[in-house]
Amino acid sequence: MNGRVSFVMLVIAVLAFACTRSNAPESLSSTKTPHKKGVAVASSLDVRVDDEVHFALRVHNDGDRKVEVNFPSGMTHDIAVLDESGRQVWRWSDGRLFTAAYQNKVLRSDDTLSFAESWTPPGPGRYTAVARLVSQNYPQEQRVQFAVR
């Protein structure tokens, strides 16, 4: 009986310790880290139309400290194109395979990650590009409307 009480007390102590550890301060790569412009990571999407539609997703560290951007797989970004009624007409990642390996990219202060992709539109129309940074800790999404003539 004495061994049972000791075991129960040990389990309670371990649980109490684990609960207090989960409330510990977050690491420097957390989004709660103070930065000079209020955010650590910002993004932009540029769309240029000629014979094809060219997309340029840029992710920039606006903070004063380096950040580590974490990706759960080999997929770092994705771009989708929606027609005027909101239906998806193209997605960059469709039909592609990505490694299952976890990866990190370090962005020092004022560093930029750039991703460029192209799409051949089926015809004229008004579209919306939706670009996403597929990051676990700094997810970003940008939308840009454009027209193909």
Instruction: Look at 45 and 19; give whichever has higher pLDDT.
Output: 45
Sheet holding 41-49, edge to edge: 41-49, 53-61, 112-119
- Those residues whose C-beta lies under 8 Å from the C-beta of residue 76, and which sit 6 or more positions away, are 103, 105, 113, 115, 133, 134, 135
Is the pTM higher than 0.75? The answer reads: no
Residue ranges and CATH numbers for the domains of the chain are 36-148 (2.60.40.2360)
Is the pLDDT at 28 greater than 90? The verdict is: no
- Mean pLDDT in residue range 31-48: 70
- Mean pLDDT in residue range 86-100: 97
Residue 40, pLDDT score:
85
Is the pLDDT at 70 greater than 60? The verdict is: yes
CA distance 68 to 51: 37
pLDDT, tens digit, for every residue of 133-143?
A: 999 999 999 99
pLDDT, tens digit, for every residue of 2-25?
A: 555 455 444 454 444 444 333 333
pLDDT, tens digit, for every residue of 109-126?
A: 999 999 999 999 999 999
Instruction: Look at 37 and 87; give whichever has higher pLDDT.
Output: 87
